[in-house]
């Protein structure tokens, strides 16, 4: 009988990523409801010391595969390690983050474990002893409740949506060796090219300031960057701005860009095309600044200002300087 | 790499081996509602209302097809487009053929979960014995981003997902994959599955002669059940609902941008507590 709520903790370069604490907290909640334990799988090289950080967020047991072959994340190595320990322990529920790495790893695990998964979920609950996952589909135009009829019942969780809640446990560390021969690994990372330093990653940002068609050009983003610098925010763009060549594709928020859920999303000169709304409507607070009072973005906004963004943003920056 | 048969024009097997010739290229495509489509949940919450929807090729699959065609252009080989879906999915297969794919496989089924979809694709693709398989990184209807990876696992071959750049040489691929705050360059032997992300290329449009030719290209129609695929989903939709409504917002009125900006800063600080 499958038992226990499991998570895969995500680390990069020897540091746990924030999404790991979010999924640990979500797992803790499900486990408390079921009266079961939370186990985390931690894979990497020189990562054993990270286990206590997971215990802080409610993890009872940390299964650690620590080996030089895991120095870089590769799908084949990580997925083989996680699949082995999860299978051996007959996990009932398995949660991962829906980050770039988590998306890749979770989908490969679905194949290895021959099970089902609800991707990019925004809510989890238990009904009749089973996990029910709630997730947006059709770019958020529809929400679906998903049940998984095989084990482990898998879900990947949208970053920044689930709260990381401290709930300290005395955690047991179990080392395991997945016994993967190095020559069984097919893919390798040849190179890691870091983006410009100091740039806040969109999918991890607490605050995002995005500019759309109303920005009129590349240089005009400077006023958004100034405000973003003060707030520790990331700067995003709509598809219109990316298609116009003002910002790179990696900055695009929306259905064919990144799906984000910050605490605060400030949309500047963005009309709110359905493709854009798809990428940001799970943000906690939405601010819209647009000259056109008919812009659909105002229907999604918590706070709206109908005015020229080039007049409002510098004033907002000045105000923020005063109060922070 | 598997061996190439002696070519019709008499090239030697050795020459082919040295070049590691690419023989079979597969691109998987899915028919999805157009991004502009209004999506409504049906009366019993079991799915969406399909009436009035304009169906198109999943935009990420277009990048996959384009990469397959580019690869064929540079290295030769044959591009097979594979799609799973109801009868209307044939339109999307024809679109891919009109873009330049050589032949199609249509696995007919009304709907399937991610695992069963990948299992059906794997069963059909195994017969093609591909050197490389392209999928879109996700389909914009169910947004699951799973099928390409499951397919790779079921075929027992490596995968590189969410790829924005690709080089193919000597039986290997070098793929560029953006991650949070960095870009990775990943090497994988072939055969492998590549899932395509926006930025990989600029998909071509189907030309008029292409559309005419597509009508005559062969499409093998297979019933999913005949491939031995389970129709019992592992992940199933319990019910669908419209998205949660956001509470109506506040428009900050007035004529002076400075006053409005000050009011906004105050609300964000004191009411929303987000700055």
| B272 and B217 in a common domain | no
Q: What is the ipTM of this complex?
A: 0.93
Distance (Å, whole) CA B275 – CA B269: 5
Answer yes or no: do B259 and B205 share one domain.
no
Quick check: is B1 in a domain? no
Interface probe with B: pick from A110, A202, A242, most Cβ of B within 10 Å: A110
- Which residues, other chains included, contact A73 with Cβ-Cβ below 8 Å and sequence gap of 6+? A12, A101, A105, A189
Give yes or no: residues B71 and B186 share one domain: yes
Q: Please tell me if the domain spanning A5-184 has the same topology as the one spanning A202-323.
A: yes
- What's the angle, vertex CA B114, arms to CA A183 and CA B78, rounded to 5? 65
CB < 8 Å to B186, chain A:
74, 187-190
Q: Is the pLDDT of residue B2 over 50?
A: no
Contacts of A141 in chain B (CB under 8 A): 38-39, 243
A268: chain B residues, CB-CB within 8 Å: none
Residue A224's nearest CA partner among A266, A256, A264, A188 is A266
* Residue in chain A lying closest to B58 (CA): A256
Query: CA dist A103 to A95, B119, B137, Å?
Result: 11, 19, 10
pTM for the model: 0.92
B252 and B152 fall within a common domain = no
**Assigned CATH class of A5-184:** alpha beta
Same domain, B173 and B63: yes
The reported pLDDT for the residue numbered B3 is: 42
- State how far the Cα of A283 lies from the Cα of A165, in Å rounded to an integer: 19
Neighbours of B88 (CB within 10 A): 11
B166-207: per-residue pLDDT in tens? 999 999 999 999 998 899 999 999 999 999 999 999 999 999
Share of chain B above pLDDT 70, in %: 93
Within chain A, which residues score under 70 in pLDDT? Answer: 197
Token pair of B22 as six digits = 């690419």
The encoded tokens of residue A69 equal 């072959």
Q: Which domain, by its residues, includes B263?
A: 247-275
Q: How far is CA A238 from the centre of its chain?
A: 19
Q: How far apart are CA A60 and CA A291, in angstroms?
A: 53
Q: How many domains does chain B have?
A: 2
Residue B12 counted as domain residue? no
Angle, alpha carbons B205-B105-A106 (nearest 5°): 85
Tell me if B238 and A145 make a contact (CB, 8 A cut-off).
Answer: yes
User: Do B44 and B107 reside in the same domain of the chain?
Assistant: yes
Position B36 scores a pLDDT of 84
In this structure, of A155-164, B12-21, B78-87, the range with the lowest mean pLDDT score is: B12-21
B64 φ/ψ angles, rounded to the nearest 5 degrees: -65, -45
What CATH number does the domain located at A202-323 have? Answer: 3.40.50.1220
Do B142 and B273 sit in the same domain of this protein? Answer: no
Whether B34 is covered by a domain: the verdict is: yes
Every domain of chain A and the residues it spans = 5-184, 202-323
Lowest-confidence region among A62-71, B12-21, B29-38, B159-168: B12-21
Q: Do A75 and B154 touch (CB under 8 A)?
A: no
Specify the pLDDT at position A197.
64
B267 and B157 fall within a common domain: no
Examine the domain organization and report whether B172 and B138 are in the same domain: yes
Share of chain B above pLDDT 90, in %: 83
pLDDT at B5: 43
pLDDT confidence of residue A139: 87
Contact assessment for residue A140 and residue A101, using Cβ atoms and an 8 Å cutoff: no
């Amino acid at each position: 009988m499958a038992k226990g709520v499991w998570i895969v903790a995500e680390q990069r370069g020897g540091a746990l990523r924030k999404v790991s604490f979010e999924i640990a907290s979500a797992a803790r909640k499900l486990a408390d409801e079921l009266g079961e334990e939370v186990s985390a799988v931690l894979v990497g090289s020189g990562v054993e010391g990270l286990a206590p950080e997971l215990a802080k967020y409610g993890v009872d047991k940390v299964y650690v595969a620590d080996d030089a072959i895991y120095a870089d994340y590769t799908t084949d190595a990580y997925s083989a390690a996680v699949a082995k320990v999860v299978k051996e322990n007959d996990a009932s529920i398995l949660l991962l983050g829906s980050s770039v790495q988590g998306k890749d790893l979770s989908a490969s695990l679905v194949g290895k474990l021959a099970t089902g998964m609800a991707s990019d979920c925004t809510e989890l609950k238990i009904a009749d002893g089973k996990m029910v996952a709630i997730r947006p589909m059709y770019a958020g135009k529809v929400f679906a409740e998903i049940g998984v009829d095989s084990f482990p019942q898998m879900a990947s969780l949208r970053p920044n949506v689930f709260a990381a809640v401290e709930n300290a446990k005395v955690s047991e560390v179990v080392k395991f060796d997945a016994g993967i021969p190095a020559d069984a690994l097919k893919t390798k990372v040849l190179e890691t090219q870091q983006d410009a330093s100091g740039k806040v990653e969109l999918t991890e940002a607490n605050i995002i300031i995005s500019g759309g068609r109303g920005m009129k050009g590349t240089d005009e983003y400077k006023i958004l960057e100034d405000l973003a610098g003060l707030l520790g925010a990331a700067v995003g763009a709509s598809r219109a701005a990316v298609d116009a060549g003002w910002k790179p594709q990696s900055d695009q928020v929306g259905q064919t860009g990144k799906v984000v859920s910050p605490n605060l999303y400030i949309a500047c000169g963005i009309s709110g095309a359905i493709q854009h709304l798809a990428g940001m409507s799970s943000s906690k607070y939405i601010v819209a600044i647009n000259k056109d009072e008919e812009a659909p973005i105002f229907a999604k906004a918590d706070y709206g200002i109908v005015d020229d963004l080039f007049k409002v943003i510098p004033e907002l920056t000045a105000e923020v300087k005063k109060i922070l | 790499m598997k061996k190439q048969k002696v070519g019709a024009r008499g090239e030697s097997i050795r020459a082919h081996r040295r070049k590691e010739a690419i023989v079979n290229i597969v691109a998987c495509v899915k028919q999805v509602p157009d991004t502009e489509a209004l999506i409504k949940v049906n009366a019993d919450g079991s799915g969406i209302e399909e009436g009035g929807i304009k169906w198109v090729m999943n935009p990420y699959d277009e990048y996959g097809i384009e990469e397959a065609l580019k690869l064929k252009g540079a290295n030769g080989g044959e591009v097979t487009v594979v799609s799973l879906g109801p009868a209307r999915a044939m339109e999307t297969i024809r679109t891919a053929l009109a873009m330049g794919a050589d032949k199609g496989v249509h696995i007919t089924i009304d709907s399937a979960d991610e695992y069963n979809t990948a299992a059906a694709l794997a069963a059909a693709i195994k017969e093609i014995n591909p050197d490389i398989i392209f999928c879109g990184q996700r389909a914009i209807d169910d947004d699951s981003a799973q099928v390409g990876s499951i397919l790779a696992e079921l075929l027992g071959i490596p995968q590189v997902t969410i790829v924005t750049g690709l080089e193919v040489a000597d039986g290997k691929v070098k793929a560029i994959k953006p991650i949070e705050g960095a870009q990775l360059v990943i090497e994988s032997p072939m055969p492998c599955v590549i899932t395509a992300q926006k930025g990989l290329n600029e998909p071509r449009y189907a030309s008029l002669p292409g559309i005419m030719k597509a009508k005559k290209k062969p499409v093998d129609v297979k019933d999913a059940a005949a491939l031995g695929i389970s129709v019992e989903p592992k992940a199933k939709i319990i019910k669908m609902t419209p998205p949660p409504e956001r509470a109506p917002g506040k428009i900050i009125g007035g004529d002076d941008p400075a006053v409005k900006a000050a009011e906004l800063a105050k609300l964000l600080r004191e009411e929303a507590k987000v700055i």
